[in-house]
Structure 1
Amino acid sequence: MKKIFIVAVLTGSVLLNAQVIPGINSKGGAMVLPEGKLKVGIKNIYFNRENMYNGTSEVNNKENLDATANVTLIALKYGVANGMDIRVVLPYKQLEATAKLGPNEVAIDNSGIGDAVVMGRYVVLPMSEYGFQVSIGAGVKLPTGSTDSGFKKAPPFAPDVNTPMPTQMGTGAFEYKAEAGFSTLIDETLRVDLHTMFTYRPLAENDYDFGNELSYDISITKAVTNHINLGIEYNGKYNSETDMGDDTNAVLRSMLPFKAFSGTVGYITPQIEFLPFSKPKVHVGVGISFLANYNVKEYQPLEKQRLIFRLRYLF
């Protein structure tokens, strides 16, 4: 085990210990894979939105919105050089929602491949020299998700209007990302990861402005046995103000509860990870995110909980 740990450090990997796994939402902190290694992962996120918020208050759900999302992320990560890796994430989305706009019922049922993300990460301060690791990275979100008129129309009294942009599979535009991460190990069984990412979003289809985003994650995980990790995270983000552009007409826009997020929100995520072979070659994790704080810029929905499942295999 000690040999595995030393090899991981010297290759620039932040597989800090054979038993300590990064948090389920932490994006690995500063972790990179050793050169020539490949990791494949599947993560599923499920949540329901039936609560509306404005500013720092929960308000009446006047449209009786009931929306669910099931998002499956398939991720490939490969160590291209010493201290550098690349990753590709492809989402598959299943979105269902009902709401009432005046006397009319609105129903949305969309599913399909979403927008893929390609990122590269490079270690700037390696663990072998500093006792902690810092990495930086950059990438792009590709408009692979559909935004065409094949989706169900909503609402039924406006057949020339597509379902709102936040409920479609993609945005129809490139987005640009920059990240920074930090990881360290305490007593070889307690791991701390920090990560932040900025996303620049130009105008999307129909002049829709999804707003730029700054996300930040703080994760602590503990190997309590050779097979079990326990962890807790804080997952937060800030999105600048959004503009629905030409996505809908002015009257409908003021009524729709289907809006892209804008404001500040944070979640606390306790989690458990199972390592069946006492090594990180295979690991399975489950976490539940609970809404901890929020300050939204306009009337919009939020989920109070998210259920997260993760499975990864290191080749």
Structure 2
Amino acid sequence: MKNRLLSATLASFGLISLTQNASAQVIPGLDTKAGGMVVPQGKAVIALKHIYFKRDSMFDSNDEVINKEHLDATANVTLLALRYGIAKNMDIRIVMPYKQISATAKLGINNVAIDNSGIGDIVMMGKYRFYNQYAYQLAVGAGVKFPTGSTNKGFKKAPPFAQGINTPLPTQPGTGKAEYKLEFGASKLFDPTLRADMHTMYTYRPKAENDYDFGNEFLFDIGVVKAITDKFNIGLEYNFKYNTATDMGNDTNPMLRSKLPFKAFSGSAGYITPEIEYLPFGKPKIFVGAGVSFLIHKDLKEYQPLEKRKFVVRMGYLF
């Protein structure tokens, strides 16, 4: 597995299995956020998830185009999540991200380098399971992403190549504004060794600090996980994201924007993610997993970079 799932750390919102079968237990996949499941009342899960991707390819609409600016960008995002069951059918979760974004590009005669890192915006979500019968679970949730990440004035203008033009960049760790989230999840346990989970989330994003609009977002994830031994699960997911068009503000030079490779994602993209999970004790007390997401389709709203692969690792502990 090329790049060997860099950085090591990880985990996610996913959790425990419904099954009581002692020989094998399946837990939700890497990105399905536990589907319709909630943490049992009085229980908690702490998890660490690390995502790595590189953007050194440029796209426009459905096509890969020439990377005229020789953009080479790398992102490492680490998510620390705590999830706790506050009632029989309800849990809450808090997710704190740490972001590290670095990039180089060449615009005209100027070499541009960006290296930003810091704590991002913290998310708090509540999830309520309203159906739990016949091996089906359905849940809804809502939450807020708080503006805890850095948005200092260094993100307001592009590097010197912009010659003072107000061209905000999408590399700030925070947005400076609260964002609002709604989610729906579903889970189905077919037998003690096979499960399917689905999750959707919509995020409403007001215009961010420094006059950058990251666009509203819709996510859809669906996956199947199969236990192949009492300690190993394998899975396959489809991951889809859609973002509305971004807006860099009224003062941005349109000609410069059309050439600027530093843009937040806008449009749609779909990925297939094969993954593997290790449960060292044969139960979801401790779990460690990894996966690789491969880009399989895209339809972007403008000239922009997009990763062809994402590497994900996660580990978690159930209290």
Shared fold per TM-score greater than 0.5: yes
Measure how far apart 1:205 and its partner are.
1.5
Q: Which of 54, 74, 93 lines up with 1:48 in the alignment?
A: 54
Does residue 98 in structure 1 map to residue 104 in structure 2? yes
Unpaired runs of 5+ in structure 2? Answer: 1-14
Does residue 88 in structure 1 map to residue 94 in structure 2? yes
The 2-side partners of 1:132 and 1:214 are apart by: 24
Partner of 2:10: none
The 1-side partners of 2:134 and 2:179 are apart by: 33
**Contact preservation (8 Å) 2:107, 2:161:** no
Residue 71 and residue 161 in structure 1: after superposition, are their counterparts in 2 closer, same or farther (change >3 A)? farther
Identity rate of aligned residues, in percent?
A: 63
Q: How does 1:1-315 map to 2 (within 5 A)?
A: 15-17=17-19, 19-126=25-132, 129-149=133-153, 154-158=158-162, 164-245=168-249, 248-315=252-319
Measure how far apart 1:152 and its partner are.
11
Residue 15 and residue 153 in structure 1: after superposition, are their counterparts in 2 closer, same or farther (change >3 A)? same
Measure how far apart 1:247 and its partner are.
7.6
Q: Secondary structure at the match of 1:166?
A: coil
Partner of 2:9: none
Measure how far apart 1:16 and its partner are.
2.0
Q: Secondary structure at the match of 2:170?
A: helix
The 1-side partners of 2:304 and 2:162 are apart by: 22
Residue 123 and residue 25 in structure 1: after superposition, are their counterparts in 2 closer, same or farther (change >3 A)? same
Partner of 2:12: none
Q: Secondary structure at the match of 1:171?
A: coil
Write out per-residue CA displacement over residues 60-104 of structure 1, whole angstroms, 9 at most, x where no aligned residue: 001100000000000000001111000000100010000111111
Q: Secondary structure at the match of 1:254?
A: helix
The 1-side partners of 2:167 and 2:290 are apart by: 32
The 2-side partners of 1:154 and 1:243 are apart by: 15
**Contact preservation (8 Å) 1:108, 1:154:** no
The 2-side partners of 1:161 and 1:28 are apart by: 45
The 2-side partners of 1:135 and 1:204 are apart by: 30
Q: Secondary structure at the match of 1:253?
A: helix
Measure how far apart 1:130 and its partner are.
3.6
Residue 15 and residue 34 in structure 1: after superposition, are their counterparts in 2 closer, same or farther (change >3 A)? same
Measure how far apart 1:249 and its partner are.
4.0
Aligned-residue Cα RMSD (Å) equals 1.9
The 2-side partners of 1:33 and 1:246 are apart by: 46
Query: 2:17 is aligned with what amino acid?
Result: L
**Contact preservation (8 Å) 1:49, 1:67:** yes
Write out per-residue CA displacement over residues 104-151 of structure 1, whole angstroms, 9 at most, x where no aligned residue: 11100000001111100000111xx34300000000111111010356
Query: 1:227 is aligned with what amino acid?
Result: K
Measure how far apart 1:158 and its partner are.
4.7
Measure how far apart 1:206 and its partner are.
3.0
Unpaired runs of 5+ in structure 1? Answer: 1-12
**Contact preservation (8 Å) 1:56, 1:294:** yes
Query: 1:165 is aligned with what amino acid?
Result: L
Residue 281 and residue 14 in structure 1: after superposition, are their counterparts in 2 closer, same or farther (change >3 A)? closer
Query: 1:85 is aligned with what amino acid?
Result: D
Measure how far apart 1:172 and its partner are.
0.7
Measure how far apart 1:153 and its partner are.
6.9
Measure how far apart 1:245 and its partner are.
1.1
The 1-side partners of 2:100 and 2:251 are apart by: 21
Query: 1:32 is aligned with what amino acid?
Result: V
Query: 1:29 is aligned with what amino acid?
Result: G
Write out per-residue CA displacement over residues 235-259 of structure 1, whole angstroms, 9 at most, x where no aligned residue: 0011111111158444432321111
The 2-side partners of 1:214 and 1:152 are apart by: 26
**Contact preservation (8 Å) 2:98, 2:120:** yes
Paired residues in the alignment total: 301
Residue 92 and residue 310 in structure 1: after superposition, are their counterparts in 2 closer, same or farther (change >3 A)? same
The 1-side partners of 2:18 and 2:206 are apart by: 37
Residue 247 and residue 208 in structure 1: after superposition, are their counterparts in 2 closer, same or farther (change >3 A)? farther
